[in-house]
Amino acid sequence: MVKIAVTGKGGVGKTTITAGLARAFSRRSYKVVALDIDPSPNLLSSLGCGENINLEHVKPLMENVDLIRERTGAPPEGYGLVFKLNPKVDDILDRFGIECRDGVKLLVVGTIKQGGGGCFCPANAFARRLVDYLSGGVDVLLMDMEAGVEHLGRGTTRTVEILLTVVEPSLKSVETAKHIKRLASDLGIKKVLAVLNKIKSAEEEKLISESLQKIGIPTIYKIPYDEAMMKADLEGVSVFDLKEGDLMFKRMEELSKILEKEAEFSKV
């Protein structure tokens, strides 16, 4: 199995790429679970999930005070309180997992809004345990992370094999990638790989991949700017359910094959 966390600056395409990869891996008969770890989760709509969704499942687990209290013995942000470090999580996927298209299962995890990097509170203990537990039962665990780098200190990405960093043609997004790379090596995450997204010209592509090379992040894939995304946004649907999104899906398939080689993982 492989754990892949998708990171990068806000708006670069993390959620789109997480969703596309989840569906591509799943169609290629891997067992896939996608985790939405963004504080304002929207992976659900990019993935294209069923219409009959139980609202309780859409509420981020991290904000489910009763659940966190029941499992850890303390409320989510109970800093300084005594709480269980290995809460029960084996029923969470069945109870809260949302069935999405192509057989992808989604868990809306959310994140702790306050607390700062490195905080260790009941909600984080729960999230870490959940990630560890899930990795035992799936082929591909994809995590759509919060924008920026702060979350790297919270530990949910501690055991990922690949930190996939999405970069768009802007200096700011390269800067974020640079921070990510530095923190990742502090955490012992060896593979930090870049996907360039929203590329509009060969010149842009060259400039950005060269900057990334200097930082020491290999670019493994490039995605052009695609008008189909705008149509999907406008209609509030997953681009991967639009005919215009066929090409975008093919790209995700290609990327999934590249990641497969990078990770050398096997099916459960």
Ligand X SMILES: Nc1ncnc2c1ncn2[C@@H]1O[C@H](COP(=O)(O)OP(=O)(O)O)[C@@H](O)[C@H]1O
Point out which residues bind ligand X (CB under 6 A): 8, 10-16, 197-198, 223, 225-226, 229, 233
Cβ pair 161, 4 in contact under 8 A: yes
- In angstroms, give the least distance from the CB of 107 to ligand X: 17
Looking at the Cβ atoms of 122 and 245, the one nearer to ligand X is: 245
Looking at the Cβ atoms of 46 and 209, the one nearer to Mg ion is: 46
Looking at the Cβ atoms of 71 and 198, the one nearer to ligand X is: 198
Looking at the Cβ atoms of 93 and 237, the one nearer to ligand X is: 237
- In angstroms, give the least distance from the CB of 232 to ligand X: 6
Residues at the site binding Mg ion, with contacts judged by CB under 5 A: 14-15
- In angstroms, give the least distance from the CB of 117 to ligand X: 20
- In angstroms, give the least distance from the CB of 142 to ligand X: 13
Task: Identify what 233 binds: ligand X, Mg ion, none; CB under 5 to 8 Å per kind.
Answer: ligand X
Task: Identify what 256 binds: Mg ion, ligand X, none; CB under 5 to 8 Å per kind.
Answer: none
Task: Identify what 197 binds: Mg ion, ligand X, none; CB under 5 to 8 Å per kind.
Answer: ligand X
Looking at the Cβ atoms of 89 and 229, the one nearer to ligand X is: 229
Residues in the chain: 268
